[in-house]
Amino acid sequence: MDRFDVYFDGDHTGMLDVEGRDFSFRYNRELMDSTDAIPISRSFPGRDEPFNDAECGPFFRGLLPEDQYRRSVAASLQISEENTAGLFSAIGGECAGAVSLWPFGQRPGGFSYQPIGACEIRDMILEGRVAGMAGQSRLSLAGAHTKFALRRTVDNSWELPLSGAPSTHIVKVPDKEFADLASNEFFCMRLARSAGLDAAPVELIEFEGVPVLVIERYDRNATGGSISRIHQEDFCQATGIEPSNKYEAEGGPSLADLTRVLVDESSNPIADVKQLIRWTGFNFIVGNCDAHGKNASMIYASDSVRLAPFYDIVSTWVYRGLSRKQAMQIGGEYRQEYIETRHWERLATDIGRPFKFVRGELLALVESTRQHLEAENGEVHSDPDTDTLVQVRSLVEERLERLAGVGG
């Protein structure tokens, strides 16, 4: 059995035992008795007794990389991809949210950063050394896309966090299999933000000719030279669902499940449910079929719980070979090409809202997206006439017309 000390932004919040794939977690009672303590997850709030694997396992497994990215990280560390304890020992120091894991007896501290220039970043990407940097940074981020994390300094230069030091930005590595993926996601994220969705700030940056998408972390607060962690959890973690079951058709959370969590937990459920409806509509507009339960989160502060800024909004529709089946159904329909008014009406029933309310949010989204589409087209900092972006814009225009007719 392997044992880990679990820290919550520097405070020892509990103990995690790992035996094979089975997890057991127990809170530090003294910390949980404090008035401003936040449980790690709504799926296992504070209590004296330990939580078994069925209760806490989905949350902790949800902190680790997935699929090919996980395999690459594991191979670079010479650890089996199924060795979760070994992975946490090597990369559990800088995770999503405020949680970090340290081998029993170790504690976070003594963080340092290594300056890194554009040429070094380019070489690291082109030479395929990104996965190997996870061990150096002790970085564990969920998802299947290869990525690494950096700290942006006050003078706008970049540093590589070492040994679990907190980062401020996530850098997504270009994927040769999908043309213009960085520009695609940049366009969709910027358009979403302009259209009124609370989407994470993104930049499209070229490091010596290599374009990458850089995302500002909403779960970090950088003030001066210090960085504090802000807790968050995705909706699979919040509902106790395994990351491997993130798609609704495989047991993952539905839009109705997300709505129930927001109604139960959010400090402003009306505003957050409106954002959820617009996120659903926007994913339809851009053809994002991969908006599953791990691609939406809640963010926690000492005085509030809110729907987190959106991320990973990209048009998957334009890539051959990717599924065109929605990750979460709309009114019983997974196929975007067949979604019409009656499905949005059923969605309204599913989430317990009047159709008039849902339709109003969708039409407001259509209007704001149309208004900002021309401006966003001109702000894509790459060749605006690439085949991929032409397809994305064409799809957006067609989907706006379809959504404008909902209930009409």
Whether the per-residue pLDDT at 376 is higher than 90: the answer is no
φ and ψ of 384, to 5 deg: -70, -10
**pLDDT tens, residue by residue, 322-340:** 999 999 999 999 999 999 9
Among 219, 234, 272, 290, the one annotated catalytic: 290
> What is the per-residue pLDDT for 301?
83
Range scoring the smallest mean pLDDT among 133-142, 375-384, 386-395: 375-384
Q: With contact defined as beta carbons under 8 Å apart, do 161 and 150 qualify?
A: yes
Residue 290 annotated among the catalytic residues of the structure: yes
**pLDDT tens, residue by residue, 255-277:** 999 999 999 999 999 999 999 99
Give the mean pLDDT of 30-40: 74
> What is the per-residue pLDDT for 224?
76
Distance between the two ends of the chain, CA-based, in angstroms?
61
Could you give the CA distance from residue 140 to residue 148 in angstroms, rounded to a whole number? 9
Q: How many CA atoms lie within 13 A of 183 on its CB side?
A: 24
Could you give the CA distance from residue 6 to residue 13 in angstroms, rounded to a whole number? 6
φ and ψ of 231, to 5 deg: -80, 145
CA 322 to chain centre: 19
The tokens describing 232, both together, are 């968050």
The DSSP string of 262-279 is: HHHH-SSHHHHHHHHHHH
Tell me the three state secondary structure of residue 399: helix
CA distances from 79 to 17, 125, 151, 239, 276 (A): 19, 22, 27, 29, 39
What stretch of H or E contains 305? strand 304-307
Could you give the CA distance from residue 285 to residue 347 in angstroms, rounded to a whole number? 16
Q: Give the model's confidence band at 33: pLDDT under 50 very low, under 70 low, under 90 confident, else very high.
A: confident
Topology (CATH) of 228-404:
1.10.1070
Q: Is 224 left (phi over 0), alpha (psi -120 to 50) or beta?
A: left
Q: Would you kindly state where each structural domain of the chain is located, as residue ranges?
A: 2-103, 112-179+201-221, 228-404
For residue 28, give the DSSP letter: -
